[in-house]
């Protein structure tokens, strides 16, 4: 019996762990078996424990638990989320004095759970955005006002806003991910109509992602984000506050170096890069490849599959409609990245400059909360330099179409910062 296009699409979605919510984990669990209640109690109470400077002492009294009673994938994902929150809170409870060692009762189970999931033993984007959500009314709609987080960090409503707006952006990528798979099938079948339809879905999805991203301005306070929240997403690789990494007691005698939670770990954005054939400069490309280590295996596999030949760019050039549709996708991705630059400027660069100016005027010196990272992003890169680099590379992926009187302006001639 001949396989239909819809059946092939569903097969590919299953292969790459894509659901009807895209890369978002559907129906995440709210709780673990009774044996693990100490983990969940600490994770649910983490804001209070951090604010009262009690988290480290509580974690140091944690019993060593086996992971053998975690019997399902969703239980492992919730355990990784909870242990990731506890780890970040433990390390950064005292921002000016981050922990150098992770206690054995936390380090060992976190490492074992991470190995089961093929994820690193640190909080990732796939944890705090893709697997950290619930509906206030289970019968209600999947919209921001009906959503909440399973676990939260200090930062008042800004933590909720930051993570849930990121979730909404990921949900907006669903149509584009289906478009990517449709384009992939159409390339195999030399189906120009299918290619055009898939490209149009990708462009529409990227535009919707930018629209939803704009909600960040409404739901996140820049002072709370920079001064309170950002540090809890920071890792111990290329971090000036933890230059010697972190020792996982009972696991490694030598320090471990892991990157913090970053939007660069979004499998959706890297998938769009891969299908469109965006070629990043060497340093940015290496950072993006490194970020794939922090993605669930199926998501990473999709990106690597899309990077393999044949190249979409080579197939669209002979056809003006495909050529135009391809360029529309690239332009939409470029616009999304330009908008991301504006968000980073508002929430990191501007408050960072204000905090440094305030610290410089303080007669006692010191420097306020959030200053320790400086211009380093939570993933370990310089966010503005990185984002400008990937934005510029995206612009350079546009293909001129002389037959339509098109030419691609150099980026310096465009209205860009």
More confident residue, 410 or 294: 294
Convert the pLDDT of each residue in 182-227 to its tens digit.
999 999 999 999 999 999 999 999 999 999 999 999 999 999 999 9
Does pLDDT of 414 surpass 80?
A: no
Per-residue pLDDT at 354: 76
Distance CA 390, CA 63 (A): 45
If residue 191 lies in a helix (H) or strand (E), which one and from where to where? Answer: none
Does residue 88 contact residue 121 with C-beta atoms inside 8 Å?
Answer: no
Query: How much is the pLDDT for 6?
Result: 76
| Strand boundaries in 220-321, DSSP class E | 247-248
- Asked whether residue 1 carries a pLDDT value surpassing 90, the answer given is no
- Cα distance between residue 197 and residue 131, in whole Å: 30
pLDDT at 365 over 60: no
- CB-count exposure of residue 400 (10 Å: 0-12, 13-18, 19+): middle
* Residue 410 pLDDT exceeds 70: no
Q: Tell me if the pTM is above 0.85.
A: yes
Q: Are 379 and 348 in contact (CB under 8 A)?
A: no
Determine phi and psi for 247, rounding to 5 degrees.
-90, 125
């Amino acid at each position: 019996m001949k396989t239909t296009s819809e059946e092939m699409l569903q097969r590919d979605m299953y292969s790459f762990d894509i659901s009807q919510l895209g890369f978002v984990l559907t129906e995440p669990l709210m709780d673990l078996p009774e044996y693990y209640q100490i983990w969940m109690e600490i994770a649910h109470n983490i804001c209070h424990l951090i604010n009262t400077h009690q988290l480290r002492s509580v974690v140091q009294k944690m019993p060593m638990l086996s992971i053998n009673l975690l019997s399902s994938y969703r239980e492992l994902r919730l355990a990784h989320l909870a242990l990731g929150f506890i780890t970040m809170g433990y390390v950064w409870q005292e921002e000016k004095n981050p922990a150098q060692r992770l206690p054995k009762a936390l380090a060992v189970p976190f490492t074992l759970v991470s190995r089961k999931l093929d994820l690193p033993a640190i909080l990732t984007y796939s944890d705090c955005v893709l697997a950290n959500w619930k509906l206030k009314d289970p019968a209600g709609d999947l919209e921001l006002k009906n959503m909440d987080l399973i676990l939260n960090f200090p930062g008042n409503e800004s933590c909720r806003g930051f993570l849930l707006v990121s979730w909404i952006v990921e949900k907006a990528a669903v149509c584009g991910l289906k478009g990517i798979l449709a384009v992939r099938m159409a390339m195999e079948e030399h189906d120009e109509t299918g290619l055009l339809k898939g490209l149009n879905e990708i462009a529409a999805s990227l535009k919707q992602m930018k629209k939803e991203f704009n909600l960040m301005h409404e739901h996140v306070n820049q002072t709370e984000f920079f001064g309170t929240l950002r540090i809890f997403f920071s890792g111990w690789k290329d971090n000036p506050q933890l230059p010697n990494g972190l020792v996982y007691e009972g696991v490694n005698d030598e320090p471990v170096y892991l990157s913090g939670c970053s939007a660069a770990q979004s499998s959706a954005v890297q998938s769009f890069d891969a299908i469109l054939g965006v070629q990043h400069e060497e340093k940015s490309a290496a950072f993006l490849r490194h970020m794939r280590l922090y993605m669930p295996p199926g998501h990473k596999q999709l990106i690597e599959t899309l990077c393999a030949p044949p190249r979409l760019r080579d197939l669209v050039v002979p056809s003006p409609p495909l050529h135009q549709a391809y360029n529309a996708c690239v332009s939409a991705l470029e616009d999304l990245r330009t908008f991301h630059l504006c968000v980073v400027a508002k929430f990191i660069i501007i408050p960072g400059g204000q905090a440094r100016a305030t610290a410089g005027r303080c007669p006692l010196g010191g420097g306020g909360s959030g200053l320790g990272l400086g211009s380093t992003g939570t993933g370990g890169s310089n966010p503005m330099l990185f984002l400008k680099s990937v934005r510029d590379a995206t612009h350079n992926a546009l293909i001129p179409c002389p037959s339509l009187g098109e030419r691609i302006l150099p980026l310096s001639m465009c209205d860009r910062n």
